[in-house]
Amino acid sequence: MIDLRLALGCTALLAVVWLALAAPAVRADAIEAGAAREQSADPRTITFVVRVRAAAGLKSATLAYKVLNPDGDIGGSQAGTFTPGTETDVTYTLNTNASERYIPVGSRFTYRWQLTDQTGTVIETPEHSFVFLDGRYQWQSRTDGPVTAYWYGDNAQNATAALAAAREALDRIGKLLETTVPYGIRIVVYRSEAEGQLAQRPRGRVFDALVITGGQRVAPDVVTIFSADVEVSRHEVAHIVTHAAGDGPFTSLPAWLDEGTAVYAQSAPGGNYRSAIDFAVRTNRTLSLRAMQAATNQPNEVNLFYGQSWSTVDFLVSTYGQPKLAELYRVHFKGARIDDALKQVYGVDQDGLYNLWRESKGLPKVAVTAVPSGAGQTAPQTTLPPLAMPGAGEAATPQGAGAGAAAEPASDGGSATAGIIVALGTLLVAGLLGGEAFVLLRGRRGGS
**pLDDT confidence of residue 270:** 81
Residue 447 confidence (pLDDT): 36
Q: Single out the residue in 131, 165, 194 at which a domain terminates.
A: 131
Range of the domain at 171: 139-442
Q: In which residue ranges of the chain is pLDDT below 50?
A: 1-2, 4, 6-28, 206-207, 211, 370-448
Report yes or no on 313 lying in a domain: yes
Query: Are 159 and 183 part of one and the same domain?
Result: yes
* Domain CATH code at residue 102: 2.60.40.2420
pTM of the predicted model as reported, rounded to 2 decimal places:
0.77
Sheet holding 185-189, edge to edge: 139-144, 147-152, 185-189, 222-225, 211-219, 394-398
Same domain, 59 and 188: no
**What total of structural domains would you count in the chain?**
2
Radius of gyration of the chain measured on its C-alpha atoms: 28
Q: In a 10 Å sphere around its CB, with 0-12 CB exposed, 13-18 middle and 19+ buried, how is residue 13 labelled?
A: exposed
Q: Supply the pLDDT for residue 330.
A: 98
- Cα–Cα distance for residue pair 55/72, rounded to 1 Å: 40
Question: What pLDDT, in 10s, does the model give residues 269-313?
Answer: 987 899 999 999 999 999 999 999 998 777 778 899 999 999 999
Angular region, 400: left φ>0, alpha ψ -120 to 50, beta rest: left
pLDDT at 342: 98
Whether residue 190 sits in one domain with residue 108? no
Is residue 434, in this structure, part of any structural domain at all? yes
Q: Which of 408, 404, 225, 381 is nearest to 310 (CA)?
A: 408
Task: Indicate whether 155 and 217 sit together in one domain.
Answer: yes
Supply the CATH number for residue 345's domain: 1.10.390
pLDDT of 202 reads 67
Same domain, 174 and 256: yes
For residue 64, report the phi and psi dihedrals to the nearest 5 degrees: -110, 125
Considering the domain architecture, whether residues 151 and 126 belong to the same structural domain is answered as no
CA atoms within 13 A on the CB side of 385: 6
Q: How far is CA 227 from CA 195, 329, 429, in A?
A: 11, 30, 21
Residue 266 included in any domain: yes
| Same domain for 155 and 69 | no
In a domain, 3, yes or no: no
